[in-house]
Amino acid sequence: MTSAPQTLETVRIALDDRSYDILIGENLLGLPSTFQDLPKASAALIVSNTTVAPLYEAALKQALSDHFKVIHTVHLPDGEAYKDWVTLNLIFDGLLGHACDRKTVLFALGGGVVGDMTGFAAASFMRGVPFVQVPTTLLAQVDSSVGGKTAINHPLGKNMIGAFYQPQRVVCDLSVLKTLAPREVSAGLAEVIKYGPIADMAFLEWIDHNMDALKACDAQAMAHAVRRSCEIKADVVGQDEREAGLRAILNFGHTFGHAIEAGLGYGQWLHGEAVGCGMVMAAHLSQALGLIDAEFVQRLTDLIARAGLPVKGPVLDAADNAGHYLALMQHDKKSVAGDIQFVLIEGPGRARVSAAPEAVVRAVIDRCCA
């Protein structure tokens, strides 16, 4: 028997005929009603990984059995290092091996890695099949499952191969966060903190006051963090779905962060850890360019450290560390004709995207890495 959700909140992503709801509440993934009114199909395919499937797949399968005649499953190996072509192909093997058709609905049950790969598979299988995000990490609930970015990595750059493809629904079941390792909770908090300096200083204040509760996965604190993060992301994505401009602010900390991930080898630092440290570096760059003061940089750095995240960047190359970061950052998707673009804080709660003089960036990297 499944318990009913104690609370159920809905955030709408408004994108014309691609609009959808994010459902937020406890005990959602085991409830048949969570999956009502999805596109009609006889088959569903749940994509998960070897860690998450044993925890939550049976409950999801049970809930889906009210809506689909057959439910297939594919289990991917776990980890950022597997976010690649070879692993993506396992999803296509499952779809084709089970003779799935273009009505088959895919369900991404897992963190951002499973979500990004399942979304990309859904975008490309038979030129597009419906999919539902069931994010099971904090990071995936507050960011990666929302907004339709799907991708795999390339050794030369993070998330380089992918598509914009919106899910039919996002199901944020807060109960599943209880089994996350503390390091994964911290990684998710990086993307929660991100929304403060770029969009909502009151939210940053709230995070500051509730950091202990957030780290302990307190249900009420998590509910607010997920809802407010999704609201901010929904607002940005609703204005700029395909990142013509505004949406790039959601990449605060990511230019440095992606360089850290690619430079160390995917999976060494968690994505959220790299983003946390990348936000510190981007804040220093904003200060070096005269946009914010040292007090703001220190406040953000302290908050990121309290979340349990690294605030010093790794040395990627003892001979020319800044040069190595710069070379990696040139592969960033925001780069224009080789000019690296940074998300800078131009004032509390406001961000913009622009290039920066190389000498200033080098000095910031030297200062921020140890």
What amino acid positions are annotated as catalytic residues? 127, 149, 191, 233, 243, 247, 251, 254, 258, 271
Q: Do residues 351 and 247 touch, judged by C-beta distance below 8 A?
A: no
Specify the residue, 161 or 219, whose C-beta has the smaller distance to ligand GLY: 161
- Residue 247 interacts, among ligand NAD, ligand GLY, none and using kind-specific CB cut-offs from 5 to 8 Å, with ligand GLY
Q: Is residue 301 involved in binding ligand GLY (CB under 6 A)?
A: no
Under rule CB under 6 A, which residues in 199-238 are in contact with ligand NAD? none
Q: Do residues 183 and 140 touch, judged by C-beta distance below 8 A?
A: no
Among 271, 274, 285, 296, which residue interacts with ligand NAD (rule: CB under 6 A)? 271
Q: CA distances (Å), 187 to each of 168, 193, 250, 306, 308, in order?
A: 26, 10, 16, 12, 8
Burial classification of residue 212, based on how many CB atoms lie within 10 Å of its CB (0-12 exposed, 13-18 middle, 19 or more buried)? exposed
Nearest partner of 294 among 345, 238, 237, 260, judged by Cα: 345
Q: CA distances (Å), 310 to each of 257, 260, 263, 269, in order?
A: 11, 12, 16, 10
Residue number with the shortest CB distance to ligand GLY? Answer: 250
Report the nearest approach of ligand GLY to the CB of residue 89 (Å). Answer: 25
Report the nearest approach of ligand GLY to the CB of residue 19 (Å). Answer: 17
Report the nearest approach of ligand GLY to the CB of residue 250 (Å). Answer: 4
Nearest partner of 353 among 198, 190, 149, 236, judged by Cα: 198
Q: Is residue 87 involved in binding ligand NAD (CB under 6 A)?
A: no
Q: Is residue 173 involved in binding ligand NAD (CB under 6 A)?
A: no
Specify the residue, 111 or 278, whose C-beta has the smaller distance to ligand NAD: 111
Q: Which tokens go with 114?
A: 């499973």
Among 87, 104, 144, 286, which residue interacts with ligand NAD (rule: CB under 6 A)? 144
- Residue 187 interacts, among ligand GLY, ligand NAD, none and using kind-specific CB cut-offs from 5 to 8 Å, with ligand NAD
Stretch that binds ligand NAD, among 17-25, 104-112, 294-302, 348-356 (CB under 6 A): 104-112
Stretch that binds ligand GLY, among 223-231, 246-254, 261-269, 324-332 (CB under 6 A): 246-254
DSSP H helical segments within the chain, as ranges?
58-64, 85-97, 112-124, 138-139, 182-199, 201-209, 211-215, 219-239, 254-264, 271-288, 294-306, 321-329, 358-368
Instruction: Express the helix, strand and coil content of the chain in percent, nearest 5 each.
Output: 50, 20, 30
Stretch that binds ligand GLY, among 76-84, 170-178, 245-253, 298-306 (CB under 6 A): 245-253
Site residues for ligand GLY per CB under 6 A: 143, 147, 149, 247, 250-251
